[in-house]
């Protein structure tokens, strides 16, 4: 019998454990790199979206200012004077077109109101 028979065997258990440890370390490293790349790409997407949002807010302010300037009574009068078809049935609101309702009696009575301009 050979007494050195056990000494010549390849240490399979030791090699297997080191292979598993190194595979785990490689997998953890790859996962770390993947997470860092995801953070970087998400950060660049967020930055691009923030720039787009700021641009849209600026455009919104410009449009709101334009709407306010075009819908002012002076702008409407000017446009109506230049183009007679624009707001052809537009009537300016003056004191004689206003009807002021007050409840001086304080009661629940109904009062008839008529509009003679029809």
Residues 82-115: tens digit of each pLDDT: 887 777 777 777 778 777 777 665 556 666 676 6
Which whole number is the average pLDDT over 4-19? Answer: 79
Rounded CA separation 61/63 (Å): 5
Out of 7-16, 53-62, 77-86, 95-104, give the one with best mean pLDDT.
53-62
d(C-alpha 49, C-alpha 56), whole Å: 10
């Amino acid at each position: 019998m050979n007494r050195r028979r056990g000494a010549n065997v390849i240490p399979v258990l030791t090699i297997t454990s080191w292979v598993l440890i190194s595979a785990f370390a490689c997998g953890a490293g790859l996962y770390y790199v993947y997470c860092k790349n995801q953070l970087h790409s998400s950060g660049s997407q967020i930055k691009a979206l923030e720039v787009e949002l700021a641009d849209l807010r600026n455009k919104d302010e410009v449009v709101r200012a334009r709407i306010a300037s075009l819908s002012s009574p002076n702008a409407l009068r000017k446009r109506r004077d230049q183009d007679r078809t624009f707001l052809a049935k537009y009537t300016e609101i003056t004191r004689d077109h206003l009807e002021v309702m007050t409840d001086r009696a304080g009661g629940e009575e109904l009062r008839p109101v008529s509009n003679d301009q029809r």
